[in-house]
Structure 1
């Protein structure tokens, strides 16, 4: 399996998608009614598709998954560029911190990070912080699911692509248990050729995950919750 998509719910994918495409230097894959997709590549590392799907509900709850963008020595320049693209400054009670909190054009929180040694080679996205009831347990879950490996990141448990490049997946202690509201952002993994969906599902459940059956009819992918209740999808092997 491999991590393939970061999926973002959007009121207007054709507004939000181009903003993030410009923010991360992505290349457009899809621009259709109700969906916009862009691919972010990291030199000598992984790629990640950002997929914006249309939903009717605006952001309403604190995000359990968001993007930390690379700022470093160019932090102020990156912030000004994002503001010019349509972001705005956001106060979430962060007080005096070295990173800058912004909201994208639909109000989703993001951070522009200060210089950190751990962010060498990440590309434009430094980290994907994910709220967790148990970072050690969930780190094991996501390491198995994605094939990413432990590293010396900035979180209690931090995973990264085996190349040692690309963004960190940071498992952070949650401020409150996840409720019933769906995460605005979630991750998709794709099965490799020869991997079986039923066997993968058994592995997910054995590691504390849960199958979701949203009642949307027959779909080529399967939806789950990780052990802390965060949504994720498992896609079939490419070409199926």
Structure 2
């Protein structure tokens, strides 16, 4: 048994407006499941497919109070493309952000609701990922996170050091999942988190038991009104185990 990373869940005060921003930023299409839920995926995409990790934007009233522990890195193909993308994103409503990054070749930005993301300088490793180069998770121990997530999902481990661990779909398509060492402690629930799905025919309850045996925990959330399972990885980052699809 295994799960697949299928989407990033992002909370927003105005899911429709934030959805329009990210759809324009990525060149993706918009699909609404109803009031308060906006889904984004590439045009012509057949969900779920590891060629892309989709965005699920959910309306929530709580304010953003801390730097997100999960963010997107956007790919570029040249220095000119990087500059053009940054300028276009600013026109769409993004702003440049200072999170203490210092003098780096990538550009740190924030979307209209303050969610941090990076526009990377051109890197050959991201040449075939699509617009999203990587989903990046801050953590204290990249090796331990790679151990957990490498067993939780059927993604392939590409690198594991004390500073960074990297996984990607075993099919060699889509964005990378990167765990980057950051000493800042987790202080609030994550406004941006991972959503994973079992494969068709797998039993969600059995999969939950397997994930908990690997080190996942059950955070203190009211689960009475939802059909999916909320878990947390070994560093307390919430994630959702969705139904098989």
SS at the partner of 1:47? coil
The number of residue pairs the alignment matches comes to: 237
Assess, with a 3 A threshold, how the Cα gap between structure 1 residues 153 and 207 changes in structure 2: closer, same or farther: closer
Equivalent residue, structure 1, for 2:166: 158
Provide the rounded CA distance (Å) in 2 between the counterparts of 1:171 and 1:93: 18
Provide the rounded CA distance (Å) in 1 between the counterparts of 2:153 and 2:130: 19
Give the drift of 1:140.
2.0
Runs of 5+ unmatched residues, structure 2: none
Give the drift of 1:153.
9.0
Assess, with a 3 A threshold, how the Cα gap between structure 1 residues 152 and 40 changes in structure 2: closer, same or farther: farther
SS at the partner of 1:210? coil
Q: Which runs of structure 2 are paired with 1:149-228 in the superposition (5 Å)?
A: 149-151=156-158, 156-179=164-187, 181-228=188-235
How big is the alpha-carbon RMSD for the aligned residues of Structure 1 and Structure 2?
2.1
Cα deviation, 1:106-133, whole Å, max 9, x if unaligned, reads: 1111110001122121110111110122
Give the drift of 1:212.
2.8
Give the drift of 1:225.
0.4
Cα deviation, 1:129-153, whole Å, max 9, x if unaligned, reads: 1012221121122122221111259
Give the drift of 1:197.
1.9
Equivalent residue, structure 1, for 2:122: 115
Assess, with a 3 A threshold, how the Cα gap between structure 1 residues 165 and 153 changes in structure 2: closer, same or farther: farther
Give the drift of 1:54.
0.6
Provide the rounded CA distance (Å) in 2 between the counterparts of 1:126 and 1:63: 18
Equivalent residue, structure 2, for 1:15: 17
Equivalent residue, structure 2, for 1:126: 133
Give the drift of 1:213.
4.6
Which consecutive segments of 4 or more residues in structure 1 shift more than 3 A? 152-155
Assess, with a 3 A threshold, how the Cα gap between structure 1 residues 81 and 159 changes in structure 2: closer, same or farther: same
Equivalent residue, structure 2, for 1:46: 51
Assess, with a 3 A threshold, how the Cα gap between structure 1 residues 207 and 133 changes in structure 2: closer, same or farther: farther
Give the drift of 1:236.
1.0
* 1:29 aligns to 2:11 (yes or no): no
Runs of 5+ unmatched residues, structure 1: none
Q: 1:84 is matched with which residue: 79, 83, 91? A: 91
Q: Is the 8 A contact 1:68 1:112 kept in 2?
A: yes
Give the drift of 1:231.
0.6
Give the drift of 1:24.
1.2
SS at the partner of 1:66? strand
SS at the partner of 2:222? coil
Q: Is the 8 A contact 2:230 2:241 kept in 1?
A: yes
Give the drift of 1:216.
4.0
Equivalent residue, structure 2, for 1:148: 155
Give the drift of 1:218.
4.2
